[in-house]
C-alpha cells in the first residue's frame, strides 16, 4: 500500500490533505470534527489583533452552479476570524495537544509593522502549533486596511514581512500568495528572498458571482450593495494549477516547497497539484460543499492510484509533471492529431458536429449515406480537441496522434517524426538559425 504520509517543511501529517485557513477551521469544534474525519492537518483560520474584526450580518457567500445545481465556483466576503485572539490561541493549544500527529498551522494577518508581528508571533509559538501561514491573499475587506492582498500585491512588502517573521520565530513560515496579480512569480520570488520556508497558493480571486436582476444588486448582496469577494472552488483549479507550475519551474524559486490550494475536490485534483510541484494540498470549498467526510475518498483514491501506478510515496509523485510544463514556443509543431469518434460509444447527440460546424473547422459529419452519423473528416480536422470537450460521453472521442511517416490528409504532407517548434519555424520572423 502506498505511503501517503507527508512531511511539508518539517511539519508532519498522516496524509497531504489539509484544510485551508477558512470558515471550516475557525474554532476547535470544527477542527476536531475534521481531525476525527481524517484530515491530515489544518491551517487555523487567520488570527488578527484584538479587538477582532466584525463580519457583515447578511450573506457572506455567493456561488455559481453547473447542471443539477452542482456548485462550481464559490465566493466569500468573510473576513479573518471575528473571535477573540486569546480564545483562538487557547483552543489551538488544546487541539494541538489532543491531536499531536496532525499538522496545525496558524494563519496570521496583522498590520504591516514589525512591532505587530513581533507581538503576535510569540503568542502563537506558545500554543506549540507546527507553523505559521502569512495571509497575504485575502482580496476583500482586509486589503482596504492595508493587509491581505494589499501586501501580497507588492513584492517588496512580501519580502519585508517574511523577513520579520523569520527573524522573530523558530516556526516554519508559509507565505500564502494572492492570485490577484499579473505575474505570480514576483511575490513568490520575494517571499523566497525573505527566507520563507514555503509558499501556499492560490488564495481567492476577486469576483462578483452574479447580479440580482430584480434589484440590480451584485451578489452576494448586503442591503442591495455588493463588493468583490474571493472566488474559489472547482472553477479556479486551472488557474491555481498554472500558478503552482509557474513557481515550480521558475529557476529562481525551483525547489521552494509549495502548498497547493484552489478547487481541490477529489483525490485526482490533489494528485494533479502534487504532480505540478505541490508538496501537499489545502482544501476548503469541497469541504464546505459536502462536509469533512470527502477526505476519506481523497485518501483512498490517492493511495489506490499510487498503488496502481507503482508510486510508493508522495515523493514519487511530487513535481513529476513540472518538466513537462513548457512555453508555447517549444511545443512540437510536428505532432499531428486527429479526432476519432467511437461509434459504439456515440449517443448521436450531435454536439461535436454543431460545435465544429458553427465555430471551428467543419470537420465532423452530421449524416453519412443519409443516416444520422458523426464522423471526423480528416481532411478538415486540425486536431483542436473541441469535440472531445463538448462530448457528453467520456472516452467517446479521442485525439489520435498520426504516426511518423503517415499522411496528414489536411495538409497533404507526410508527418515528420522530428521535433520542430516555433523558434525554428520559417514563418517566425525571429527564428533562430538552424545549426
Q: Does 354 bind another protein (CB under 8 A)?
A: yes
72 lines the binding site for another protein (CB under 8 A): no
Question: If binding is defined by CB under 8 A, does position 68 make contact with another protein?
Answer: yes
Contact status: 348 vs another protein (CB under 8 A): yes
**CA proximity to 135, closest of 227, 200, 208:** 200
Total residues binding another protein (CB under 8 A): 14
User: Which DSSP letter does residue 220 get?
Assistant: S
Q: Find the part of the chain contacting another protein (CB under 8 A) among 63-71, 117-125, 153-161, 169-177.
A: 63-71
Question: Does 212 help bind another protein (rule: CB under 8 A)?
Answer: no
CB of 350 vs another protein, minimal distance in Å: 3
Distance CA 59, CA 67 (A): 23
Joined grid coordinates for residue 80: 479573518
> CB of residue 94 vs another protein: minimum separation in angstroms?
43
The nearest distance, CB 213 to another protein, in angstroms, is 10
Smallest distance from the beta carbon of 356 to another protein, in angstroms?
Answer: 10
Is-contact 338 406, C-beta < 8 A? no
The DSSP result for 154-219, as a single string, is -HHHHHHHHHHHHHH-SS-EEEEPPS-SS-THHHHHHHHHTT-SEEEE---EEE--EEETTTTEEE
350 binds another protein (CB under 8 A): yes
Query: Beta strand pairing status for 17-19 and 41-47?
Result: parallel
194, 231, 353, 397: residue in contact with another protein (rule CB under 8 A)? 353
Question: β-pairing, 217-219 with 210-212?
Answer: antiparallel
What DSSP assignment string belongs to 274-339?
A: HHTTEEEEEE-HHHHHH-TTHHHHHHHHHHHHHHHHT--BGGGTTTTTGGG---GGGS-TT--EEE
Select the residue interacting with another protein from 372, 413, 425, 431 (CB under 8 A). Answer: 372
Tell which one of 51, 54, 69, 251 touches another protein (CB under 8 A): 69
Q: How far is the CB of 339 from another protein (least distance, A)?
A: 16
391-410 positions binding another protein, by CB under 8 A: 392-393
Residue 386 makes contact with another protein by CB under 8 A = no
Q: Least CB distance from residue 245 to another protein, whole Å?
A: 33
Residue span 296-325 as binding mask against another protein, x where in contact by CB under 8 A, dash where not: ------------------------------
Nearer to another protein, 223 or 371 (CB): 371
Query: Is residue 112 annotated as part of the catalytic site, yes or no?
Result: no
Residue 349 touches another protein, criterion: CB under 8 A:
yes
Question: What CA dihedral angle connects 196, 200, 205 and 206, to 10 degrees?
Answer: -30
> How far is the C-alpha of 419 from the C-alpha of 424, rounded, in Å?
11
CB atoms within 10 A of CB 98: 12
**Residue of 83, 351, 373, 410 interacting with another protein (CB under 8 A):** 351
Residues of the shown chain interacting with another protein in the complex, contacts defined by CB under 8 A: 67-69, 347-351, 353-354, 366, 372, 392-393
Catalytic annotation, residues: 138
Amino acid at each position: 500500500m502506498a505511503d501517503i504520509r507527508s512531511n511539508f517543511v518539517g511539519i508532519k501529517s498522516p496524509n497531504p490533505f489539509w484544510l485551508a485557513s477558512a470558515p471550516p477551521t475557525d474554532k476547535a469544534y470544527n477542527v476536531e470534527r475534521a481531525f476525527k474525519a481524517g484530515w491530515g492537518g489544518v491551517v487555523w483560520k487567520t488570527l488578527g489583533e484584538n479587538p477582532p474584526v466584525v463580519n457583515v450580518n447578511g450573506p457572506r457567500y455567493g456561488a455559481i452552479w453547473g447542471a443539477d445545481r452542482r456548485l462550481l465556483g464559490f465566493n466569500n466576503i468573510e473576513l479573518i476570524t471575528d473571535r477573540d485572539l486569546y480564545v483562538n490561541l487557547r483552543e489551538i493549544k488544546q487541539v494541538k495537544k489532543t491531536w499531536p500527529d496532525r499538522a496545525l498551522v496558524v494563519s496570521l494577518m496583522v498590520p504591516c509593522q514589525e512591532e505587530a508581528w513581533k507581538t503576535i508571533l510569540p503568542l502563537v509559538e506558545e500554543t506549540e502549533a507546527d507553523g505559521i501561514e502569512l495571509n497575504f491573499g485575502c482580496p476583500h475587506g482586509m486589503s482596504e486596511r492595508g493587509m491581505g492582498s494589499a501586501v501580497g500585491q507588492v513584492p517588496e512588502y512580501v519580502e519585508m514581512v517574511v523577513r520579520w517573521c523569520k527573524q522573530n520565530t523558530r516556526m516554519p513560515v508559509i507565505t500564502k500568495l494572492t492570485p490577484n496579480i499579473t505575474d505570480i512569480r514576483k511575490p513568490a520570488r520575494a517571499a523566497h528572498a525573505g527566507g520563507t520556508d514555503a509558499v501556499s497558493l492560490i488564495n481567492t480571486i476577486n469576483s462578483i458571482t452574479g447580479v440580482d436582476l430584480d434589484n440590480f444588486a451584485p451578489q452576494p448582496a448586503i442591503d442591495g450593495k455588493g463588493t468583490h469577494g474571493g472566488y474559489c472552488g472547482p472553477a479556479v483549479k486551472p488557474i491555481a494549477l498554472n500558478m503552482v507550475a509557474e513557481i515550480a519551474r521558475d529557476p529562481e524559486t525551483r525547489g521552494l516547497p509549495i502548498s497547493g490550494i484552489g478547487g481541490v475536490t477529489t483525490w485526482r485534483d490533489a494528485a494533479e497539484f502534487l504532480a505540478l510541484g505541490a508538496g501537499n494540498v489545502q482544501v476548503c470549498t469541497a469541504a464546505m460543499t459536502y462536509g469533512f467526510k470527502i477526505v476519506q475518498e481523497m485518501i483512498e483514491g490517492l493511495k489506490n492510484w499510487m498503488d496502481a501506478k507503482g508510486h510508493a510515496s508522495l515523493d514519487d509523485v511530487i513535481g513529476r509533471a513540472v518538466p513537462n510544463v513548457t512555453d508555447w514556443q517549444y511545443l512540437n509543431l510536428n505532432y499531428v492529431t486527429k479526432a476519432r469518434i467511437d461509434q459504439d460509444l456515440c449517443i448521436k447527440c450531435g454536439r461535436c458536429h454543431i460545435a465544429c460546424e458553427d465555430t471551428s473547422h467543419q470537420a465532423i459529419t452530421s449524416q453519412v449515406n443519409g443516416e444520422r452519423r458523426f464522423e471526423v473528416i480528416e481532411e478538415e480536422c486540425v486536431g483542436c480537441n473541441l469535440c472531445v470537450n463538448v462530448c457528453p460521453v467520456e472516452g467517446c472521442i479521442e485525439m489520435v496522434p498520426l504516426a511518423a511517416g503517415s499522411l496528414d490528409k489536411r495538409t497533404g504532407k507526410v508527418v515528420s517524426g522530428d521535433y520542430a517548434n516555433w523558434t525554428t519555424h520559417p514563418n517566425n520572423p525571429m527564428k533562430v538559425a538552424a545549426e
